[in-house]
Structure 1
C-alpha cells in the first residue's frame, strides 16, 4: 500500500455493512443468482461423498458376497451365512455381513459401480461449473459496485469545499479513494462467495454427518471448540504483531523517502553512515515484527490440521468399531471421514475472513466519510450573470474567518476598475491569498458582498464565475500530456494559430521549438523535463490563451532566477494588458507600476496608493520595501580567547 495498511477495525460494523449492501442494490438479481448457484454448488459437493460411499459399499458387498458363497455355497442365503459365522465363533464378521447388502455368490456389480462413478463425475463437473459461474458473476457485481462507488466519490470530491482539503491531507484523501476502495473490492470479491459457501457447507456437512451417524457427528463436533480456541489464541497474538509490522513498515518507508528526497543533502553533510545506521535499526525492527507476525500467522493452518487429524483419528476408530459391530457400512464411514475433512475447512475460512471483513468494512467507512462530508453551498438557480464582463470588481464591507473564534478579514472594502492592476502586499498571514479565495468563491464570505460588474458573485454559478478568471500561481501546475494539451487546458476550442500567438507573446514558443517534438512533447505530471522558469511561462501562456477578463497572479516569479524573472515580468505585462489584475507579491520591486497597491496587515487594508506615494508616506509599506534591501545586523563575535 502506497499510503500504509488499511484500517484494522470499523467503528460501526453492522451499519456500514448495511450501507455496503445498499450500494449493491442495483445488482440484487445477480446477487440472488449467485446465492442460488452457491446453494447448488454446495449441495452437489456435499452429496458427492455419500454417493462415493455407495461405490465403496458396492465393492465391499461384492467381496462379502464371495465370502458368504464360500461358506454356504452359491445357492445359500445371507441368513445361513450369518448363522454359520456365529456358530464358527466370528460374531463381528457375522454382524458386518448381516448389516451389508451382500448376496452370496454375487460378486462386484461393475455396471452399478460404473454408473455411480459417472454420477459422481457429473456431480463434480456440475459443482465446478456453478463455482466458476458464481465467481464470474460475483466479480462483475463487485466491479460494477466499485465503479459506481468511484463515480460517487469523484462527484463528491467535485462538490466539496476547499476547506475540506485544507483540513485533510492529500495523502489521506488519495488513500481513501484508491487503497480503501481497492481493499473493499478485494474483501467483497472474497466475502460474498466464500462467506456464503462456507456457511452453507458447514450446514450441509452437519446434516449429512448426522444422517449417517449421530454418534460420529458428535465426536467430530468436539473439534469445533478446539479449533475455535486455537484460532482465537493465535489470531489475537498475530494481529498485535501485524500491527507492529505495519508500524515498522511505515517508519522504514518514511526514512527511505526522506533519505532519497534529501539524497544530495545527506551526501553533502557526509551523513551516509548515520543514514545507513538508522535504516538498519528500522529494518531490524521490521524484520523482528514481520518474522513474529508471519510465524504466528503460519501457525494457524498447522493448528487447524492438528485438530482435524485428532478428529480424523477419533472418527476412524469409532467408525471402525461400528462397522465391525454392523452398525454402519464401510462406505458410510468413508463418506463420514470425507465430511469431517470438509467440515473443518469452512470453519477455518470463516475464522480467517473475520479480520478480512473488519478491514474491508473499516475501509468502506473511510470512503463513506468522504461521501458524508458537508457539500459546498449549491449554486443559485437560475444564476445571474453580468450583461458584459469588463472586469469591474468590488469588495463591499466583506468579513471572513476560517475559524469562528479567530478574526481575519473584518469590514474590508476595495474597488478594482476594469483594466487596473491591483497589487496586494503584506506579511505572511495578512490575508492576501484569502482575498483570492473569496473572489473565486473557494470560500464563502461571512458578510458583505463581492461584485463582478455589478452582480453579486454569490448569485452566479461557480463555473460561470470562474470562467471569467485566469490564475497563475506560485507553484506551476502541469499535468501529464503534451505541451499543446497543457496550453489549451483552459481554451479547448482555441485554434493552432491562437495557441502559437499566446506562446509567442509569453516567450514560450522559442524554447518549445527547440524541443525534439515541439508542441507535441510529452510532459509528466510535474513537467520535470522543463526548468522552473519554463514551467511558469507555460502557465502564463495557458492563462493568456484562456483570455480571462480578470487575472490573478500569486507570487508567479518567486522561485526563478533574475533573468527568467524579467522574461516572466514581460510576459505578465502583456497578459495584464487591458485586463483587471490582482497581483500578490512579496518582491515589492515587481509591482512598482501597479495602479494601486493594497497593503494588508491582520486581514485589513492599512494603506492604499501607488508605489512612490506609499514610500513617501513612510508607513508600513515603506518598512516592508526597505526591509528587502537592508542588510541584517549581526553583532561582531568576540575574538577567540578574548
Structure 2
C-alpha cells in the first residue's frame, strides 16, 4: 500500500492551494497539465546502448535459467546446422546412383574416369574422380533411408530442444517483467508528492502499463530469436568454411553491406519510435483527463475542443507510428534483396566448382542451404530492429521513473509514540513551491491537545498547504513542525500518518462495498465498531434505504451514491480510525444544510480529546473553534476566537461580512456564496 494512504486518508491529498509549482520533476518530465505537453518532442534522444545493457542486466537473477536456455540453444542450433550436411550426403547418394546407372557395369570407377578422359570429357572425368560411384549400380535406397531417418531425427530433436528453450525463456522474461512491475510500484510509493503534482496521470499510467507490456513483448520476441540467430550464424559460418572457403568468402561479402544498410535505416527509425511512445503517453493523459471530467466538458460545451485536441494528438501519434513502422519495415526487404544477390553468386560459383570437379553436388546443395541459413538469421535480426528499438525506448521511459529522486528516507532510528496527545507546533516554518515565489514565511503557531484550530482565508493563502506540511506530503524549506514535542522528521511517515485522520473536500472511495470503504480507516475493526461509526456520522441513515445495505458495491468513481453520501462515508472512515490528530478540509461542503447541522454535532464528538485542524469555507461552521487562524499570502495575519476576531474589525471581520451582510440586512434571504473567498 502506498505510503500516502494512512488510516482514514485517501491516496492523495487535495491539490495545494498555493501557486502551481514550476520545478521540473525527477525523471525529466515537464510539469503542468497534460495539454501543456502536447506536441513537445522527447526530452532527450534515446541512449540506446546503455539502456539496452541496463535492461539486459535485469536478467541476471535468472542466470541459471538463462544458462539452460543458452545450452539448449547451442545443442538445438548445432543439430540444425548439421542437418544440411546430412541432406547433402543424401543428395550425393542419389546423384551417385543416377550416374552409376549410366555407366557400364562390370567396370571399375577408375576405368570409367579413364574412358571419360579418353573421350575428351575432362570435366565429367574430374567429377567422377570425386564421386564414390559404382558403375552399373543404382541408388542405394537402404543407405539413403538411413541418412534421411538420421536427418529427420536431427530436426525432430532440434525442434523439441527449441520448444524447451522457449518454455524456459518465457519464464525468464515474465519473472523479470514481474519484478520490474513490482519495483515500479514500490518506486511510486517512495516518490514525493510533487512528482505526481507535475506528472499527468495518463502519462504515468502509460509508463506503468503500456511501456512495461511493450518491454515484455520485445524481450519475449527478440531474446530467443537473437540468441538462435547469433548461434546459427556462427555454426553455419563454420560449416561453410569447412565445405568451401571460397564460397564462404562470397557469402560473407553480404555481411558488411547488410550491417551498413541496417544501421542507416535503424538510425532514422529510432527517433520515430521515441516520438511514438511519447505521443502514446500524452494521448493517454488527454483521454484520462477527458473522461474524468466528462460531465464538465458536457456542461461547458467543450466537446469540440476536446475532440480537436484528441484528433491533433492522435494525428501526431499516427505520423510517428507510421514513420517508425514504415522506416524500420524497409530493413526486411533490403536484407532479402542482399540475401538473394548472395544466393545467386553462390549458385553460379558453386555450379562452376561442381562442373570442374572441385566440389560434389551434395556439398553445393548443402552450401546453398547454409547460405540461406546464414542470411535468414541476419534478416531476422534486422526485422527485429523495430521491436528492439521500441522495447528499449519503453525501457528508458520506465527507467526514468525508477531513477526519479525519491522522498527523503525515514530516519534509521525513528522515535516511537506510545500515547500521543496531539500537540502540534509550527516553529518559524517556511515553504515555497517555486523558489522565486514565497508562500509560507516564518510561520509559528501552537495547537494544544484537544483544541480545534480553524484555518480560513482567501484562495492561495496556504491553508491546504499548511495541513499537507503536517502530513509531510511536502518537505519544509526552513523551520520545523513538532508533534508532542518531537520533530515530525524524526518519525516514520507511516507512524506519523497513522496518527492522523484526514477528510478532504474531494472524496476518495475505492471499488468495493460501503462496509469495506468505512473499514479502510481501520481494517481490524469489528462489525459493531463499523456500525457505530456509521451511526455516529449518519451514514447508517441512507445505507438502510439501499437494497444491499452495507454490502452495496460502490464503483470506482462512486457514481452510484451522491456526493454528500460519499463525503459521509469518508467522515465515517476517519471516525472509525480514531486518530490523535484530525484534519478536515471543508469536510461538509457536499452535504445538505440539515445533515451539516447533524454532522457538526458528530464532529464535535469526533474532535473531543484530539487536536483538529479545520479548513473552512463557510465561516458559520467554525464559530466554536478554540482558535481561528486568518491567513493571507502564507502568513497568519490574525488569530483568536470568533468573537475576538469580529471585535477586531480586521481581515476576518471583512471576510465574515462578505458572506453574511446581505442576509443580515434582509436584502437577500440567502447568504452570498463565498466562492471568491474560498481557499
State the TM-score, normalized to the length of structure 1.
Answer: 0.87
> Deviation per CA, 1:131-178, whole angstroms, max 9, x where unpaired?
122222122222222233333333333333333333434334333333
Determine if the alignment matches structure 1 residue 311 to structure 2 residue 346: no
Structure 1 residues 34-43 or 456-465, which shifts more?
Answer: 456-465
The match for 1:189 among 220, 223, 230 is 220
The match for 1:31 among 66, 69, 77 is 66
Q: Which runs of 5+ in 1 are unaligned?
A: 632-642
The match for 2:246 among 208, 215, 235 is 215
Name the counterpart of 2:229: 198
Task: State the Cα distance separating 1:237 from its structure 2 match.
Answer: 5.5
Task: State the Cα distance separating 1:331 from its structure 2 match.
Answer: 1.0
| C-alpha contact 1:7 1:359 (8 A) present in aligned 2 | no
The match for 1:412 among 426, 443, 456 is 443
Task: State the Cα distance separating 1:425 from its structure 2 match.
Answer: 1.1
Does the residue aligned with 1:346 lie in a helix, a strand or coil? helix
Determine if the alignment matches structure 1 residue 464 to structure 2 residue 499: no
Name the counterpart of 1:637: none
Determine if the alignment matches structure 1 residue 508 to structure 2 residue 539: yes
Structure 1 residues 251-260 or 95-104, which shifts more?
Answer: 251-260
Name the counterpart of 1:152: 183
Determine if the alignment matches structure 1 residue 60 to structure 2 residue 95: yes
Does the residue aligned with 1:552 lie in a helix, a strand or coil? strand
Name the counterpart of 1:46: 81
Q: Which runs of 5+ in 2 are unaligned?
A: 1-33, 663-679
| C-alpha contact 1:62 1:106 (8 A) present in aligned 2 | yes
Determine if the alignment matches structure 1 residue 520 to structure 2 residue 555: no
Task: State the Cα distance separating 1:422 from its structure 2 match.
Answer: 0.8
Aligned partners of 1:379 and 1:250: how far apart in 2?
Answer: 32
Aligned partners of 2:456 and 2:585: how far apart in 1?
Answer: 11
Give the total of aligned pairs. Answer: 626
> Deviation per CA, 1:603-626, whole angstroms, max 9, x where unpaired?
221101222322232211122233
Aligned partners of 1:630 and 1:352: how far apart in 2?
Answer: 76
Does the residue aligned with 1:218 lie in a helix, a strand or coil? helix
Does the residue aligned with 2:103 lie in a helix, a strand or coil? helix
Aligned partners of 1:564 and 1:220: how far apart in 2?
Answer: 86
1:4-403 alignment runs, 5 A limit: 11-69=46-104, 74-232=105-263, 234-235=265-266, 296-386=327-417, 388-403=419-434
Aligned partners of 2:433 and 2:289: how far apart in 1?
Answer: 32
Give the superposed CA RMSD: 3.4
Does the residue aligned with 2:639 lie in a helix, a strand or coil? strand
Aligned partners of 2:313 and 2:496: how far apart in 1?
Answer: 52
Structure 1 residues 275, 198: closer, same or farther in 2, change over 3 A? same
Aligned partners of 1:289 and 1:10: how far apart in 2?
Answer: 15
Aligned partners of 1:437 and 1:461: how far apart in 2?
Answer: 16
Aligned partners of 2:581 and 2:322: how far apart in 1?
Answer: 61
Does the residue aligned with 1:607 lie in a helix, a strand or coil? strand
Structure 1 residues 358-367 or 464-473, which shifts more?
Answer: 358-367
Structure 1 residues 255, 539: closer, same or farther in 2, change over 3 A? closer
Does the residue aligned with 1:103 lie in a helix, a strand or coil? coil
| C-alpha contact 2:328 2:386 (8 A) present in aligned 1 | no
Task: State the Cα distance separating 1:284 from its structure 2 match.
Answer: 7.1
Name the counterpart of 2:574: 543
Task: State the Cα distance separating 1:403 from its structure 2 match.
Answer: 4.4
Name the counterpart of 1:635: none
Structure 1 residues 494-503 or 193-202, which shifts more?
Answer: 193-202
| C-alpha contact 1:527 1:535 (8 A) present in aligned 2 | yes
Does the residue aligned with 2:384 lie in a helix, a strand or coil? helix
Task: State the Cα distance separating 1:491 from its structure 2 match.
Answer: 0.9
Structure 1 residues 275, 606: closer, same or farther in 2, change over 3 A? closer
Aligned partners of 1:342 and 1:107: how far apart in 2?
Answer: 32
Structure 1 residues 537, 424: closer, same or farther in 2, change over 3 A? same
Name the counterpart of 1:639: none
Name the counterpart of 1:587: 618
Task: State the Cα distance separating 1:479 from its structure 2 match.
Answer: 1.3
| C-alpha contact 1:8 1:362 (8 A) present in aligned 2 | no
Task: State the Cα distance separating 1:13 from its structure 2 match.
Answer: 4.1
Aligned partners of 1:374 and 1:344: how far apart in 2?
Answer: 46
State the TM-score, normalized to the length of structure 2.
Answer: 0.83
Task: State the Cα distance separating 1:53 from its structure 2 match.
Answer: 0.5
Structure 1 residues 469, 492: closer, same or farther in 2, change over 3 A? same
Does the residue aligned with 2:572 lie in a helix, a strand or coil? helix
Aligned partners of 2:352 and 2:394: how far apart in 1?
Answer: 52
Structure 1 residues 192-201 or 75-84, which shifts more?
Answer: 192-201
Structure 1 residues 409, 130: closer, same or farther in 2, change over 3 A? same
> Deviation per CA, 1:335-390, whole angstroms, max 9, x where unpaired?
11111111112112222334433443343343334333344334345433455323
| C-alpha contact 2:283 2:313 (8 A) present in aligned 1 | yes
| C-alpha contact 1:10 1:362 (8 A) present in aligned 2 | no
Task: State the Cα distance separating 1:529 from its structure 2 match.
Answer: 1.6
| C-alpha contact 2:325 2:386 (8 A) present in aligned 1 | no
